[in-house]
C-alpha cells in the first residue's frame, strides 16, 4: 500500500513538473523572434506540437492550458504582450483563435506514434498545425470582418516558417516521442 502511494505521488510530481516546464517553454518560445521571411517567426507552434509529441495529450494539453490561463490572468506570457500583460483583453484580441488552436494542435500531435512512417507523421503535423490557422482565421475574420483579406493577414506570411518547423519536427518525432516514457 505504501509503495503504491509513493509511486502515485511520484507520478503526480513528475506530471506537475512537466506541465510547468511545458508552460515555461511555451512562454519562452513566444518571446523569442527569429528573423525569417516575410515576417519574423516565433517557435510557439513548434513548441505546441513538441509538447503534444513528447508529453502525450493529457500533460501536453495541461501545459498549453496552463500557459493560456497564465496569459488570461495577466502574466506577460503571450507573444507581443507587454511586460505587465493585459490578461483577458489581450487573449480575446486578434490572436485568440490561434491561441485556442494550440489546444487542438497539441492534442492531434499527441496522436502521432513511433510506428507511423515519415509521410504519415508529416501529414498529421500539417493537420495539427492547420487547426491553429483555421481557428485563428475564423476568429480573426469574426473580429475584423470578412471583407478584409483574412488569409493574407493571418496565415500567408507564416506558411513558409510553418513548413520549416513541421519538417524539422517530422524528422525528430520518433526521438521526441520517446520522452513520453519518462513521464
- Span 125-147, pLDDT tens digits: 999 999 999 999 999 999 999 99
- The number of domains in the chain is 1
Who's near 18: CB < 8 A, 6+ residues apart?
55, 59, 63, 183
Residue 166 belongs to domain with CATH number: 1.10.1760.20
Contact by Cβ (8 Å): 157, 119: no
pLDDT of the residue at 179: 86
- Residue 73's domain comprises 2-182
pTM: 0.92
Question: pLDDT tens digits for the chain (183 residues)?
Answer: 666 677 688 889 999 999 999 999 999 999 998 887 666 789 999 999 999 999 999 999 999 999 999 999 999 999 887 766 688 988 999 999 999 999 999 999 999 998 999 999 999 999 999 999 999 999 999 999 999 999 999 999 999 999 999 999 999 999 999 888 777
* CB-facing half-sphere around the CA of 179: CA atoms within 13 A: 19
Predicted pLDDT of residue 15: 94
Closest by Cα among 158, 154, 156 to 145? 154
Amino acid at each position: 500500500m505504501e509503495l503504491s502511494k509513493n509511486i502515485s505521488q511520484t507520478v503526480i510530481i513528475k506530471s506537475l513538473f512537466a506541465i510547468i516546464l511545458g508552460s515555461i517553454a511555451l512562454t519562452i518560445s513566444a518571446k523569442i523572434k527569429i528573423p525569417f521571411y516575410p515576417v519574423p517567426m516565433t517557435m510557439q507552434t513548434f513548441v505546441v506540437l513538441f509538447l503534444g509529441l513528447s508529453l502525450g495529450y493529457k500533460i501536453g494539453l495541461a501545459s498549453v492550458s496552463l500557459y493560456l490561463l497564465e496569459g488570461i490572468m495577466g502574466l506577460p506570457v503571450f507573444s507581443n504582450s507587454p511586460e505587465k500583460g493585459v490578461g483577458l483583453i489581450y487573449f480575446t484580441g486578434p490572436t485568440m483563435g490561434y491561441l485556442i488552436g494550440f489546444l487542438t494542435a497539441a492534442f492531434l500531435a499527441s496522436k502521432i506514434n513511433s510506428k507511423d512512417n515519415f509521410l504519415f507523421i508529416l501529414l498529421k503535423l500539417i493537420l495539427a498545425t492547420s487547426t491553429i490557422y483555421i481557428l485563428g482565421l475564423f476568429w480573426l475574420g469574426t473580429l475584423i470582418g470578412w471583407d478584409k483579406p483574412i488569409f493574407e493577414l493571418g496565415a500567408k506570411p507564416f506558411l513558409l516558417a510553418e513548413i520549416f518547423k513541421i519538417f524539422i519536427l517530422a524528422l525528430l518525432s520518433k526521438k521526441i516521442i520517446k520522452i513520453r516514457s519518462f513521464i
